[in-house]
């Protein structure tokens, strides 16, 4: 930290709102609320509320220590602020390019992650593949997290095998205490009034439904939510991490991705709190390891993949998927959908702007992959419709992980699955009008038929992938493949 950066006014973007983005507690701060962001793109109403509420709460906390500019563009605000300005590296290629184009602004290394870009580049140097597991183990050693000397705690690096139990039978939920929820205040009231006015004036348009704020907007609230998670939910997190229940949208998940991606929580603070719970005997190792892997493993890995593969990564389309997002999906019209899993998950996005990672991957993304929708459009949809969605989050997660559009740079095979997976890991299929075992006819599950259609459409491309040998052999044994493909083509843009 140089004298210049410490003395300069720190410009904090709306996803850099925690105290760890300042060099000292009394450092002058610049906060900018740009209306143009909401004019350009149609964000979820709850996401717009969350971001504006967090930004305005931070301005209120800092008082005279901060210049809080509410302008149409960032550039308008910057023209009004005299003196030196520093900023931690922004979280998108576009924002970084913008700040580096402004003379006199000092751009510092990124904060809010466990592994720096320099450390990642050193790890990635001369590696043919950038596998998550290798990165995660290196981070565990370097940070000395869940380590007993030079060995991993419990003698294993990865407890995934213990964390894949299906949803409990004949249960509406896991029966856990509710996650931490905030009380709204006067700032939230003003944010809601402003968003209503912008919609009436036609200067902004939103997707999804408004509702009470469900996520922290201050560092104090975020730490309270972390304490509740570690106490009430972390002890039960592991076993059903990958399960879905229609009556329990929270399961044992932390609900901390949104405040963490606003910069309100330092991820290492969460890591150490989880490890302390394990060391004190308050949470089992398998669940704690699974949660910590989400942070120093997956979250950091996604961040670094975004930067490592460059700004053109977002435009990769190895499977040549060109389909447009249908209106019912783009507009979150869950009531138009008959498939119970897809309807319920889409309704959760519409009403809350959030579902946990398995509905994202194995319901929403899986359906998009099967239908061959344009991965760039799918990426943009996730970015706009999720309260924790940002460019760096969604580009790698969607292009690389869920749509296999990078040709296997991240995932060794496509994350495509039929109705059997959803039936095994959830309680959705029993009352559904479709049957997961049927691939043709009126009761054919759109995920089961869609799975075989996806394999048929991409058979030539996937043939060289050794992990796809067995699924493709199954495809070739189907006697009704032509009928399956024709039925899925007829479905087209219609809601299933």
Helix (H) or strand (E) holding 69: strand 66-71
pLDDT of 4 higher than 60: no
Instruction: Confirm whether 117-182+217-309 and 313-491 share one CATH topology.
Output: no
Q: What is the pLDDT of residue 60?
A: 98
CATH code of domain 313-491:
1.10.579.10
Q: In the predicted model, what is the mean pLDDT of the chain? A: 94
Q: Is there a contact between 211 and 351 (Cβ–Cβ < 8 Å)?
A: yes
C-alpha 472: how far from its chain's center?
30
Q: What is the pLDDT of residue 5?
A: 63
C-alpha 52: how far from its chain's center?
19
Task: Kindly tell me the sign of the dihedral angle through the C-alpha atoms of 347, 348, 352, 353.
Answer: negative
pLDDT in tens, 165-180: 998 998 999 999 999 9
Taking residues 353-372, report their average pLDDT.
Answer: 97
pLDDT of 2 higher than 60: no
CATH code of domain 9-108:
3.40.50.620
Q: Quick one: pLDDT band at residue 492, thresholds 50, 70, 90?
A: confident
pLDDT in tens, 392-450: 999 999 999 999 999 988 888 999 999 999 999 999 999 999 999 999 999 999 999 99
pLDDT of 1 higher than 80: no
Q: What is the pLDDT of residue 6?
A: 66
DSSP helix/strand/coil, 216: coil
Out of 28-42, 77-91, 121-135, 309-323, least confident range: 121-135
Q: Does domain 117-182+217-309 have CATH number 1.25.40.80?
A: yes
Question: Domain residues of the chain, as ranges?
Answer: 9-108, 117-182+217-309, 313-491
- Give the number of C-alpha atoms closer than 13 A to the C-alpha of residue 309, restricted to the C-beta side: 22
Nearest-CA neighbor of 63 among 26, 35, 32?
26
């Amino acid at each position: 930290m140089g004298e210049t950066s410490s003395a300069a006014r720190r410009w904090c973007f709306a996803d850099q709102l925690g105290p760890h983005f300042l060099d000292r507690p009394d450092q002058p701060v610049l906060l900018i609320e740009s209306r143009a962001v909401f004019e350009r793109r149609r964000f979820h109403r709850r996401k717009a509320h969350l971001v504006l509420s967090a930004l305005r709460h931070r301005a209120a906390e800092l008082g005279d220590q901060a210049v809080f500019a509410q302008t149409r563009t960032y550039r308008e605000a910057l023209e009004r602020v005299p003196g030196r300005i520093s900023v931690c590296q922004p979280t998108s290629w576009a924002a970084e390019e913008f700040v580096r184009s402004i003379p006199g602004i000092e751009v510092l290394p990124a904060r809010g992650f466990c592994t720096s870009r320099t450390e990642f580049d050193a790890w990635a140097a001369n590696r043919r593949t950038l596998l998550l597991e290798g990165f995660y183990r290196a981070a565990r050693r370097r940070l000395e997290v869940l380590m007993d000397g030079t060995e991993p705690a419990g003698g294993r690096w990865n407890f995934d095998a213990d964390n894949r139990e299906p949803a409990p039978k004949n249960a509406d939920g896991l029966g856990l205490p509710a996650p931490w929820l905030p009380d709204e205040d006067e700032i939230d009231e003003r944010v809601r009034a402003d968003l209503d006015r912008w919609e009436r004036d036609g200067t902004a348009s939103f997707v999804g439904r408004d509702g009470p704020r469900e996520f922290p907007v201050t560092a104090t609230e975020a730490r309270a939510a972390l304490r509740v998670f570690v106490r009430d939910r972390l002890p039960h997190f592991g076993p059903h991490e990958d399960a879905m229940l229609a009556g329990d949208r929270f399961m044992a998940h932390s609900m901390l991705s949104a405040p963490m991606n606003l910069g309100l929580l330092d991820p290492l603070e969460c890591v150490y709190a989880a490890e302390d719970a394990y060391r004190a005997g308050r949470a089992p190792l398998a669940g704690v390891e699974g949660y910590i892997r989400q942070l120093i493993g997956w979250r950091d890995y996604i961040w670094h993949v975004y930067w490592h593969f460059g700004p053109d990564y977002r435009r990769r389309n190895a499977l040549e998927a060109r389909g447009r997002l249908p209106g019912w999906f783009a507009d979150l019209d869950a009531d138009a959908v008959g498939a119970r899993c897809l309807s319920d998950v889409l309704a959760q996005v519409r009403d809350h702007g959030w579902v946990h990672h398995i509905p994202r991957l194995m319901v929403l993304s899986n359906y998009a992959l099967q239908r061959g929708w344009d991965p760039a459009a799918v990426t943009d949809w996730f970015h706009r419709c999720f309260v924790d969605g940002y460019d760096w989050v969604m580009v790698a997660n969607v292009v690389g992980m869920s749509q296999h559009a990078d040709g296997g740079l991240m995932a060794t095979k496509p994350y495509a699955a039929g109705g059997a997976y959803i039936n095994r890991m959830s309680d959705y299929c029993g009352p559904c009008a479709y049957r997961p075992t049927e691939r043709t006819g009126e009761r054919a599950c759109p995920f089961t038929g869609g799975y075989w259609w996806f394999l048929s459409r991409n058979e030539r491309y996937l043939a060289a992938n050794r992990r796809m040998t067995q699924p493709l052999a199954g495809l070739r044994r189907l006697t009704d493949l032509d009928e399956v493909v024709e039925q899925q083509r007829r479905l087209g843009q219609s809601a299933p």
